[in-house]
Amino acid sequence: LRKRGEAQNPHCLRSSVKFPQSVMFWGAMSSAGVGPLCFLRSKVNAAVYQEVLEHFMLPAADQLYGDADFIFQQDLAPAHSAKATSTWFKDHGIPVLNWPANSPDLKSIENLW
């Protein structure tokens, strides 16, 4: 509570931000190691996500696994579950783990943080 006359006292004010900035990035981790981080400068749609996969995931997978098989894991974000993205994975022969809806506790990245 503030007293009369303290309305503009800095000790009685709390700042707020209506539209906080956010930072979006893509990263990869596996039992074989971690891949590079890709900082995303725009909103992520299927086309942007596929560019990230092409330029970051494929080289990381090649470095971490070589010719060994792996299963890619991602959640059901719209860019991840788009038909074009599904086609991209099929065209590149990369199996994707089936992901149940509304399962934030399955995100292994949360344990890495």
Give the tens place of pLDDT for each residue, 48-74: 999 999 999 999 999 999 999 999 999
The pLDDT of residue 104 is: 60
Question: Which residues does 8 contact at the CB level (< 8 Å), separation at least 6?
Answer: none
Residue 21 identity (one-letter amino acid): Q
With 0-12 / 13-18 / 19 or more C-beta atoms within 10 angstroms meaning exposed / middle / buried, residue 49 is buried
Q: Which residue has the higher pLDDT, 86 or 1?
A: 86
The pLDDT of residue 40 is: 92
In this prediction the pTM is: 0.74
Mean pLDDT of 18-29: 84
The pLDDT of residue 20 is: 75
